[in-house]
Structure 1
Amino acid sequence: MTLTRLIPAPPAGFDLDDADDDTLESLYTPPQARWLRLNLVASVNGNAAGSDGTSNGLSNRTDRRILGAIRRLSDVVLVGASSVRREGYFLPKSAPLAIVTGTGDFRGHRIPADVGPGRIIVLCPASAEDMVRSSLGDRPVAIVQLPGPRLQASAIVDALRRLGHERIVCEGGPMLASQLVDADVVDELCLSTSPIVNGVDVPVLPGLDGSRPLRLNQLLVDSESVLYARWAVRSAP
């Protein structure tokens, strides 16, 4: 599959099947050591799920390779528990998975029983800790207690950085992503746009408080007409 860079000019393209990981990573390397990016996929009309009710229905092989590159460039992958329940959420290979939950309910997860220590971080209020341990069994989970019951986006980010995770990628769900934007802690939005419109009512960034200016730093397109944009948020480099 061909992947072509449209912005910045001049256009540059390459065969994704022949490209190594370093090539993709060079397109997504953060400009500074401390960086928080959202990595999301949406339909053309702004829905974050396909007909199957998950983001898998919007993704393709190129999107998954870019996902892998962004994960390798990150210290931690951040998701909401709703994504773990809805999509199963396989454990990232190259970074620990940090999960935000207010209840500790992880029904539907696919976290392997033999996961190694330090691979899963759960951020939750004290009231949810017993449910976390019940849901995840004897997996070696690092639990970080935060004030609740509704966790604040800035507190989540601060907690991860106290653990040494400077480069954070949040992969959703939509509510968590919106909370991070509203808290003004996001540097970049990496948005894959699938060339479909659908009636699945799952907005990719629901309920935002006001509007924020973005700057398009990079735009790629693949041979299946999927667009891959890097939008700088606020005054990010």
Structure 2
Amino acid sequence: MSDNCETNGFKGERPIEDDPLFFWRLNDDFKLPDAAILITGNDPSKTEIQYNENEGYAHYNSDGSYMRAQKRDYEGFEAVFGALKSAIRRGTLQAKLTYQGGVAAHGATRGKNFRVVAAHDFWHLIRETSDNPFAKFEDVEIEVDVDWDETTVDADDLKRWLRSKGFTGGFFFPNQETFGGDDFLDAGHEHFSSELALAVNAWRALLPERKFRGGVRAAIDAWIVANPDVWQGDEPLSGSAKERITTLVNWNKSGGAPKSGG
């Protein structure tokens, strides 16, 4: 290839040919449907023609072109999309929740004129506030339901959540060869150890962190408590098992005041 060759700003190479999802890696956060599609190994930029479900005819834009929407009928998409929403509701995955809002102009029907973005359940925050800041605006209406299509998750938060589920391959972990994690994380493996699996997931989840208030051991213990669904033992996680796992994961055996990086 000529040294003068330039494709999308990358001289001398065409990264998109080797990795169709190459430019998606530039994102620091992702809309929830895009994240779900990427986790399933597909391209969020692909679209498909919209059809009337009952009659089977295509929908058209005013200029005569086909109406298109993001392609989502990938294997596993609904399961992953649902898991992401569930994790956000449970608080195990941080997100910027989006709510659609509208303002009625002179009594007209409210349209979707603006969005409200919140780090937590917006309406729960409003209910906890003694003085509703929107009460005096009679023409303002904010939808109760979260707009999941516009809700975003931070890439690093998403990776931490995926690690906690044993996913360490695919788009978000390009240097890993396997998508479903290591054999020792497979609950169906004949040598599966639930304590080892939880220990590895905890270690991986805390890997990106650099500072630990209260110390490393406290952070490990707090993560285990906050992620009960990661435990895959036949019986509930006992105090002695949690103690063994915390001791195993703890890389700061000396204790004392926490330093940068633990």
Tell me the TM-score normalised to structure 1 length.
0.26
Higher strand share: 1
Tell me the TM-score normalised to structure 2 length.
0.24
Higher helix share: 2
By relative contact order (CA 8 Å, sep 6+), the higher-ranking structure is 1
Larger Rg: 2
